[in-house]
């Protein structure tokens, strides 16, 4: 508890622009990843394998961007650092423990970019303008990954288990006090999910996405308690691999219930027109 409070304080100092909820989530993820490391091992290995496959599919390896780099648990950082000239790790929060790991392992070509890639603030701004002007269509795209166009020599973009978290973050912001739920469109979360996939599809380089798309909560006898679509109705890209990830094995959230997420890996993301 004390260690986590200290980590929270140091992260707030080193990443002052990260929202405190995001810092708390990152610290919670770190603790859960430690508790569930056996149950999560296969998911992490398969995510790394999907990324390895994408690396092998790139002939020229100058700059690679990892979206949702998080704790670098499912990102083959050694291989990325040794095979690309430059590695840019993008996340809403970078814990100091991750920064330290990168420093100690001496990856001179790895840099951090702290950024909210959801597009939530832009959608809120567009919604405000629509309300104020009465215009239904502003004729502008959400473009949450537009910042990638400013990165030189981009050859690979990896979306590393971040898409469902964009949706989770948006839902909790919508329900928060100043979440602007009253001005946001009803399908705000779906628009943000679609915006991420659209953003990947627009990129002129190779892309790979690994994301959980749904979950099921089950009792020990196999009885289903709940299923949920984590992409809020948005069609996921066609996967080349798919697997189940026991995010909360029995005993993690409840003694008699487990929550298992279905994960897909897809390359060269394209969206239906």
Site residues for ligand SAM per CB under 6 A: 22, 26, 29, 68-75, 91-93, 116-118, 160-162, 165-166, 169
Q: Which is nearer to ligand SAM, 166 or 194 (CB)?
A: 166
Q: Which is nearer to ligand SAM, 71 or 190 (CB)?
A: 71
End-to-end CA distance of the chain: 49
3-state SS track over the chain: CHHHHHHHHHHHHHCCCCCHHHHHHHHHHHHHHHHCHHHHHHHHHHHHHHHHHHHHCCCCCCEEEEECCCCCCCCCHHHHHHHCCEEEEEECCCCHHHHHHHHHCCCCCEEEEECCCCCHHHHHHHHHHHHHHCCCCCCCCCCCCHHHHHCCCEEEEEEECCHHHHHHHHHHHHHCCCCCCCCCCCCHHHHHHHHHHHHHHHCCCEEEEEEEEEEEEEECCCCEEEEEECCCCCCCCCCCEEEEEEEECCCCCECCEEEEEEEEEEECCCCCC
Could you tell me the smallest distance in angstroms from the CB atom of residue 68 to ligand SAM? 4
Could you tell me the smallest distance in angstroms from the CB atom of residue 222 to ligand SAM? 26
Q: Which is nearer to ligand SAM, 24 or 217 (CB)?
A: 24
Could you tell me the smallest distance in angstroms from the CB atom of residue 26 to ligand SAM? 5
Could you tell me the smallest distance in angstroms from the CB atom of residue 135 to ligand SAM? 27
Could you tell me the smallest distance in angstroms from the CB atom of residue 172 to ligand SAM? 10
Could you tell me the smallest distance in angstroms from the CB atom of residue 97 to ligand SAM? 11
The residue sitting closest to ligand SAM, measured at its beta carbon, is: 70
Q: Which is nearer to ligand SAM, 118 or 191 (CB)?
A: 118
Q: Which is nearer to ligand SAM, 90 or 205 (CB)?
A: 90
Q: Which is nearer to ligand SAM, 192 or 220 (CB)?
A: 192
Residue position matching structure tokens 């009253």 = 182
Quick one: which of 233, 158, 157 has its CA closest to 191?
Answer: 233
Q: Which is nearer to ligand SAM, 116 or 155 (CB)?
A: 116
Chain centroid to Cα 137, Å, comes to 28
Could you tell me the smallest distance in angstroms from the CB atom of residue 132 to ligand SAM? 26
């Amino acid at each position: 508890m004390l260690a986590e409070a200290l980590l929270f304080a140091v992260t707030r100092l080193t990443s002052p622009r990260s929202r405190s909820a995001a810092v708390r989530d990152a610290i919670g993820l770190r603790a859960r990843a430690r508790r569930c490391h056996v149950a999560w091992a296969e998911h992490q290995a398969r995510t790394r394998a999907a990324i390895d496959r994408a690396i092998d599919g790139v002939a020229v390896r100058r700059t690679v961007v990892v979206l949702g780099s998080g704790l670098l648990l499912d990102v083959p950082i050694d291989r990325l650092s040794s095979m690309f000239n430059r590695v840019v790790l993008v996340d809403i929060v970078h814990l100091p423990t991750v920064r330290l790991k990168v420093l100690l392992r001496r990856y001179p070509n790895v840099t951090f970019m702290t950024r909210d890639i959801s597009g939530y603030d832009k959608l809120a701004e567009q919604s405000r303008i629509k309300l104020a002007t009465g215009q239904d269509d502003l004729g502008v795209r959400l473009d949450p990954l537009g910042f990638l166009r400013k990165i030189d020599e981009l050859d690979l973009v990896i979306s590393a288990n971040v898409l469902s978290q964009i949706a989770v973050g948006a839902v909790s912001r919508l329900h928060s006090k100043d979440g602007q739920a009253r001005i946001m469109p009803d399908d705000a979360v779906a628009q943000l999910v679609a915006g991420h996939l659209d953003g990947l599809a627009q990129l002129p380089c190779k892309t790979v996405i690994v994301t959980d798309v749904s979950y099921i909560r089950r009792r020990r006898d196999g009885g289903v308690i709940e299923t949920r679509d984590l992409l809020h109705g948005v069609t996921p890209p066609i996967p080349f691999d798919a697997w189940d990830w026991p995010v909360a094995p029995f005993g993690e959230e409840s003694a008699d219930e487990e929550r298992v997420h279905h994960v897909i890996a897809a390359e060269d993301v394209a969206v239906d027109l």
